[in-house]
Amino acid sequence: MMRYFSTIILALFLLPSLIFATGNPGREEAKIDQVYSQFGLTGKGTVVVMIDRGIDYTHPDFLDANGQTRLAYLFDLIDDSGANASNNTYGRGTIYTADDINASLQAGTTLSTDRFGHGTATTSIACGNGSAVDGDEFRGVAYEATIISVKVTQDGFPAFGNQPGEAGVFDPGDIPVALQFVADKLEELGMPGVALINLGSVGGPTDGTSTICRALKTGLCSLSSMPPCIGCPRASLIRTRR
């Protein structure tokens, strides 16, 4: 009896968070619609960079009205099959351009995946255009932004049903590469951008000596057009200051 009572109490405690986390209540709380009406900002002309677990680029939220991808680039640092490609000067990972992604969409092939779904979800919140459903209730914030997705980590999970399992992968050495790639592509596109780095861990000490900290310090010096944000276990979002 006590177990069921505890479950009910927990459900009642979490229910408001679940209701107000997404959709219209979340937008109202963050005053997103006020930004749209007052400043006319939709993300158009800017780049949202998601450094996370990849992206399901076939999702309707990441396609434009013509069915073309909204991604300028997808950099999969877990897959080194394209490390020596002519368009890859970083010596690791595989780079996919918008043309590559559009060709994949047309052919029904798969270039890169986000089987865990985290990178897809965070990108949708930041800049999904809401095309997957009627109305704009679940539209992302910067819904007309261009997207760059960088896959730097992969969560492990066991096989289930007819689906194979997946090994967890993360190399802190990929972070400097990811940041350099982003800096290069923002300069190439000639557009300002904002990045969210979702790693699931602070990756070592927070005194500035870890690989991640040093990469961020170096990267921030070159990313004059991109204020980065870092997702970490103790804070939902931290905007770094330069």
CATH number at residue 39: 3.40.50.200
Give the CA radius of gyration of the chain: 19
pTM for the model: 0.81
Structural domain includes residue 56: yes
Alpha helices (H) along the chain = 2-21, 23-30, 32-39, 98-107, 118-127, 174-189, 211-222
pLDDT in tens, 23-39: 677 778 888 888 899 99
Strands 153-154 and 235-239: unpaired
Percent of the residues in the chain that have a pLDDT greater than 90, as a whole number: 55
Structural domain includes residue 148: yes
Backbone angles phi, psi at 153, to 5 degrees: -150, 160
Strands 94-97 and 228-232: unpaired
Structural domain includes residue 181: yes
Structural domain includes residue 11: no
Structurally, the chain folds into a number of domains equal to 1
Structural domain includes residue 70: yes
Structural domain includes residue 149: yes
Q: How far apart are CA 67 and CA 238, in angstroms?
A: 34
pLDDT in tens, 56-77: 999 999 999 999 999 999 999 9
Residues of the chain whose pLDDT is less than 70?
1-23, 201-203, 219-242
Structural domain includes residue 209: yes
Domain of residue 124 covers 25-239
Structural domain includes residue 116: yes
